[in-house]
Structure 1
């Protein structure tokens, strides 16, 4: 097995695979003007996804997260889940979704092999949810989370980007919600991207301030698993739910990076920020090119930078988070 390891001895077991960059929401921190097509794009086919997943599994990947845009806009999403889940070596298949199709599809995706879910809920107030996402879908999304729990997902993860002046006052409301619900609530620190300079300056909330509040309130830090994402997870003896903090501006955030990204058009991205990506698609059409694909990925990973350098204000070439799957 060719294990993926970079020049800083970081090993990569976790692939974030975007299946589309199209999204039907207009979140203020990502696509405030809605999705704007950049020409006619051809997203990875089911066969290309099969080849890609099998090749990454051969290099030690055992967790795949399907992302977007909004993945459920793919009509063949269930087939994609089945394909990834049935790949030898893949033990976990996760999905990040805005939740608008979750109520009717949760059980179907579970049967297809999906093992975990992340649902975006940026406010527990329906009017504020509408203001942040551009869509009046709060009731549908919350019903989708209930449907996911009923379908057998043991702990649904809920993503919330805290935004100064919009939802940062809702921390206690969120904590109250998860007290009696098996939710792992992920607070994601707003990240600066190429199109978000002004909004970042206006709405950024430091994750360190949230962490300090949690520790003062009796929340306890948990150990991070080998194929977990970047969140620092906290639990509380009086809460059924947990808290995860994703703080990209924290010191040494990149030190234990374990994930790579492939865009919906087949480009390998070593980081959410900073580079144009390495094209893999020419090697995906022919399944017999697996050795060449492994070598291209291996060489690219060896050149991965030590850090994303966000602290220095370097936001790279990423225009918005939907462009390569967040």
Structure 2
């Protein structure tokens, strides 16, 4: 007799209708942030999730354990909001590092607080970090983020490298008339310090819903700005990674290999066909895509004493609803109600 459609199947993992298998879990630990980036949220901030709606530390760890032990997830990245402001972060990392099979653990952060937390996070089991930094100019940083914390971000980068949280990656979003003149200088900075730079196309995930495709800086624009580096195609396959990478001749990475730069062209060079990600929001909702308009509730199952297998089955069922692509080019595309800070990067 065939199992019911919502029965847990340990062998299948998180497989969607198009045969893609989700092995990379992005976990948002909070929707709150200590910056107010102009392309993300208004100056006054947003209406944050009430504490009782957010997953507890134990609930986060349990869902990660289910994903790893029952559903085949091998990579876990903690995001926000700003994950470093989650008080239980070090304990969450330590608990997740103890799972078997051990997942690879990373954090995407704005870098504020990383100088203090780099060593404790490393000791807890964190493998590496991505640090968001869109400019090298302190004054421009203040204008972009509405906070005077540029020096703290630079200190966080140095601390992460010193702690061995490598490769240390920098995420940068370029915007027309704001910082699109910094592509070359950002890359030179990253190369000089042994960091790996990833440029990311601005996506329609701002709380203000002001994103305009016609004014965004595209992957082609970024690569044209880097023409002076004579980038060479990377011989290493990108696999399911979102970034297309290029080798930078004449530079060496910290591990002795060739230096690289990446471009994540989510809008103009979508990689949906190879997507291997599943997302968990801070309030326990499963999202199959950054741009999804549907969510599946796992928090309710957690708090109703559901078994691990029941939760795993619900996660598998949610994965079946994953669409073929994000649909930004479709005339019917609607920007998600949740902004990036509430979804997790």
TM over 0.5: yes
- Partners of 2:217 and 2:64 lie apart in 1 by 36
Structure 1 equivalent of residue 310 of structure 2: 292
Contact 2:131–2:169, Cα closer than 8 Å, also in 1: yes
Among 317, 320, 325, which residue is 2:336 paired with? 317
2:162 equivalent among 150, 160, 178: 150
Alpha-carbon displacement from aligned partner over 1:190-234 (angstroms, at most 9, x marks no partner): 1113644435358511112223454674212333455x6411122
Give the aligned length. 325
Q: Name the stretch that deviates more: 31-40 or 177-186.
A: 31-40
Residue 40 of structure 1: how far off its partner (Å): 2.1
Give RMSD over aligned pairs: 2.0
Q: Secondary structure at the match of 2:184?
A: helix
- Structure 1 residue 169 corresponds to structure 2 residue 181: yes
CA distance in 1, matches of 2:272, 2:220: 16
1:94-143 CA distance string (max 9 Å, x none): 10111110011101101101001011111001111111111111111101
d(CA) in 2 for partners of 1:302, 1:276: 12
Task: Give the equivalent residue in structure 2 for 1:211.
Answer: 223
Distance in 2, matches of 1:224 and 1:110, equals 28
How far, CA to CA, are the matches of 2:206 and 2:118 in structure 1?
34
Unaligned runs of 5+ in 2: 1-10, 253-258
Kept in 2: contact 1:188–1:246 (CA 8 A): yes
Shift of 1:150: 0.8
- Partners of 1:41 and 1:265 within 8 A in 2: no
**Counterpart secondary structure, 1:168:** coil
Equivalence for 1:200: 212
Partner of 1:37: 47
Aligned to 2:30: 20
Change in Cα spacing, 1:292 to 1:153, as seen in structure 2 (3 Å) is same
Counterpart contact for 1:194–1:318, Cα < 8 Å:
no
User: Gaps (5+ residues) in structure 1?
Assistant: none
What is the aligned partner in structure 2 of residue 54 from structure 1? 65
TM-score (norm 2): 0.88
| Contact 1:274 1:318 (C-alpha < 8 Å) held by counterparts | no
Distance 1:161 1:86 in 2: 34
CA 1:292 to 1:29, structure 2 compared with 1: closer, same or farther past 3 Å? Answer: same
Moved over 6 A (4+): none
Kindly indicate whether residue 149 of structure 2 is the aligned counterpart of residue 131 of structure 1: no
Tell me, in whole angstroms, the C-alpha distance in 1 between the residues paired with 2:33 and 2:139. Answer: 20
Larger Rg belongs to: 2
**CA 1:72/1:278 → structure 2, altered by over 3 Å: closer, same or farther?**
same
Task: Provide the C-alpha distance between the structure 1 equivalents of 2:306 and 2:237, rounded to a whole number of angstroms.
Answer: 37
Cα 1:152–1:179 change in 2 (3 A) is same
Distance 2:38 2:295 in 1: 25
